[in-house]
Amino acid sequence: MQLRYNYRVHPDTAQREALARSFGCARVVFNDGLRARQAARENGEKYLSDGELSKQVITQAKDTPERAWLGEVSSVVLQQALADLNVAYRNFFASITSKRKGRKVSPPRFRSRKDNRQAIRFTKNSRFKVLDNGRLRLPKIGDVPVRWSRSLPAEPSSVTIIKDAAGRYFASFVVQTTEDEPLPPVESEVGIDLGLTHFALLSDGTKVAAPRFLRRAARKLKRLQQDLSRKTKGSNRRKKAVVKVARAHARVADTRRDWQHKLSTAIIRDNQAVYVEDLCVVGLGRTRLAKSVHDAGWSQFVGMLAYKAARYGRVFGRVDRFFPSTRMCSDCGRINEKMDLSVRSWVCPCGSTHDRDHNAAKNLLAAGRADNLNDRGAQIRPARVLAPRSEAVIHPDAACSTRSVEGISVLESGENVKARRPRPWWRPGPRRRSPGSPDRGGWPARW
Ligand SMILES: [Zn+2]
């Protein structure tokens, strides 16, 4: 199984400059390749093969005065940038010819110097090396200090160096683990209903409250965003404000991921089989619940469950998203009328009373078990799980989420977990925050 191990790295000033140069060259090669293919298409020529393209935009380009500086960086970095372009094209073609499932993939886009996340990849034949003194030797960059928060289980096959929007550097190693580490088998199996009122509700009745990290940090983010919006475009102060906003967002994301790791590990450790609903997160993300949905981060969590299950010898199953887990009665199997989100508990004509989410979790467990028994014969070992793609350079979401931190809007209203009803006349309106108390988020009356 391929796993990713991420570590913070602390390059010094010279190494940062070298990294910046590599990021830049990788971007130029990527863009040159994209431009060449676009030109070929406009001129009605054939699709440039990977080999031809590499010769054109790397080998031959190095001999021209305009691109001679490509020789200053590791050629593996350049080849990997082109490899990203090739994969992006292949995904796009597979998507338009419907060979690829999931949502449509758009054609590759140009990378920008202003992208807030920059990354380069070194493969084994670039001869990167983890030295005995704990530093990471990168060709044409130097020996970069790494904060080894845990040890690598095996020799890595590649390393991606990432600079994120908050200006932090990371090394993301891909490691092929030779064998899985099965945990001692346990009896219990669990169905999980992911929701907004609770983050997760397990079929054994355990409720995991939604931590809502983004909401909790909302006030700080709002203030930083306001600071940012007052800075003149192109100014140095604006750049600093951008980093501040990015750093605050990064903190939210880190906290969320950390929390999800703990929860998913606990669930996998305590259960032999885990079944979840295959949610359409992209679809939900377009509704008015969008912010809460993104704040929950279900897909990241489900991804963690999937790879941890594969790694620790547990069964993981997704239940079809059109399975009526909510309106089916877990006692008699009757499928009832659709329910509004605000209905938290209901009574089935058979007489049993259900908590909405707990009922759904029980149904998911039953459906997952049935699915799993059906294809047990066909599939003895759990499917191969690739390293989570979150760090890969061409992840479709990475492109949009990092394109512009300045564009992250913090103040979006008009969504609520419960269906919104008009406020009755006798209820007081939302309390106004009094001005003059900046510590509570209000403006000082005079300043
Ligand atoms: Zn019933």
- Among the listed residues 32, 164, 193, 406, the single catalytic one is 193
Task: State the pTM of this model.
Answer: 0.72
Q: Does residue 234 share a domain with residue 95?
A: no
* Structure-block tokens of residue 368: 């997952």
* Local structure of 329: helix, strand or coil: coil
Q: Does residue 126 share a domain with residue 69?
A: yes
26-35, 212-221, 237-246, 414-423 — most confident range: 26-35
Spatial CA neighbour of 277 closest among 358, 204, 365: 365
Centre of ligand 1 from the C-alpha of residue 416, in Å: 30
Q: Residue 412 falls within a domain, yes or no?
A: no
Task: Check pLDDT > 70 for residue 131.
Answer: yes
Q: How many domains does the chain have?
A: 2
Centre of ligand 1 from the C-alpha of residue 309, in Å: 32
Q: Residue 90 falls within a domain, yes or no?
A: yes
What is the domain-level CATH number for residue 285? Answer: 3.30.420
Q: Does residue 158 share a domain with residue 14?
A: yes
**Using 50, 70 and 90 to split pLDDT, how confident is the model at 50?**
very high
Let me know: does 186 contact 194? Beta carbons within 8 Å.
Answer: no
Residue with tokens 């909302």: 218
Specify the pLDDT at position 268.
94
Task: Check pLDDT > 60 for residue 425.
Answer: no
Spatial CA neighbour of 209 closest among 194, 189, 219: 194
Task: Check pLDDT > 70 for residue 436.
Answer: no
Question: Do strands 273-277 and 207-209 pair parallel, antiparallel, or not at all (unpaired)?
Answer: unpaired
Q: Does residue 71 share a domain with residue 196?
A: no
* DSSP H helical ranges for 64-168: 75-96
Spatial CA neighbour of 50 closest among 21, 11, 82, 18: 82
Specify the pLDDT at position 404.
28
Q: Which residue has the higher pLDDT, 407 or 152?
A: 152
Domain edge (last residue) among 363, 385, 407: 385
Q: Residue 397 falls within a domain, yes or no?
A: no
Centre of ligand 1 from the C-alpha of residue 325, in Å: 13
Q: Does residue 194 share a domain with residue 171?
A: no
Specify the pLDDT at position 376.
52
Domain edge (last residue) among 129, 144, 176: 176
**Using 50, 70 and 90 to split pLDDT, how confident is the model at 430?**
low
Residue 313 gets which letter from DSSP?
A: T
Q: Does residue 62 share a domain with residue 8?
A: yes
Specify the pLDDT at position 162.
96
* Structure-block tokens of residue 138: 């990168």
- 193 catalytic, yes or no? yes
Of 37-51, 159-173, 210-224, give the lowest mean pLDDT range. Answer: 210-224
Tell me which residue range forms the domain holding 199. Answer: 189-385
- Among the listed residues 277, 295, 391, 406, the single catalytic one is 277
* Structure-block tokens of residue 34: 């994209």
Tell me the average pLDDT of the chain: 81
- 357 catalytic, yes or no? yes
What would the pLDDT profile of 110-124 be if each residue is shown by its tens digit? 999 888 889 999 999
Could you please report the per-residue DSSP string of 382-430?
Answer: PPP-PPPGGGSTT-HHHHHHHH-STT------S--SSPP-PPPTTS--P
Q: Does residue 123 share a domain with residue 261?
A: no
Residues in the chain: 447
Centre of ligand 1 from the C-alpha of residue 139, in Å: 65
* DSSP H helical ranges for 290-339: 290-296, 298-311
Specify the pLDDT at position 335.
86
Centre of ligand 1 from the C-alpha of residue 111, in Å: 55
Centre of ligand 1 from the C-alpha of residue 202, in Å: 20
Q: Does residue 198 share a domain with residue 137?
A: no
* Local structure of 159: helix, strand or coil: strand
Q: Residue 268 falls within a domain, yes or no?
A: yes
Spatial CA neighbour of 144 closest among 8, 322, 341: 8
Q: Does residue 248 share a domain with residue 117?
A: no
Centre of ligand 1 from the C-alpha of residue 349, in Å: 6
Mean pLDDT on 201-229: 89
CB atoms within 10 A of CB 347: 11
Q: Does residue 241 share a domain with residue 138?
A: no
Q: Does residue 283 share a domain with residue 346?
A: yes
Let me know: does 359 contact 330? Beta carbons within 8 Å.
Answer: yes
Domain edge (last residue) among 329, 354, 385: 385
Phi/psi for 275 (5° steps) reads: -125, 135
Let me know: does 140 contact 18? Beta carbons within 8 Å.
Answer: yes
Let me know: does 250 contact 405? Beta carbons within 8 Å.
Answer: no
What would the pLDDT profile of 137-178 be if each residue is shown by its tens digit? 999 999 999 999 988 888 899 999 999 989 999 999 999 876
Residue with tokens 């909510």: 326
Could you please report the per-residue DSSP string of 50-90?
Answer: HHHHHIIIIIIGGGSGGGGGGGGS-HHHHHHHHHHHHHHHH
* Local structure of 41: helix, strand or coil: helix
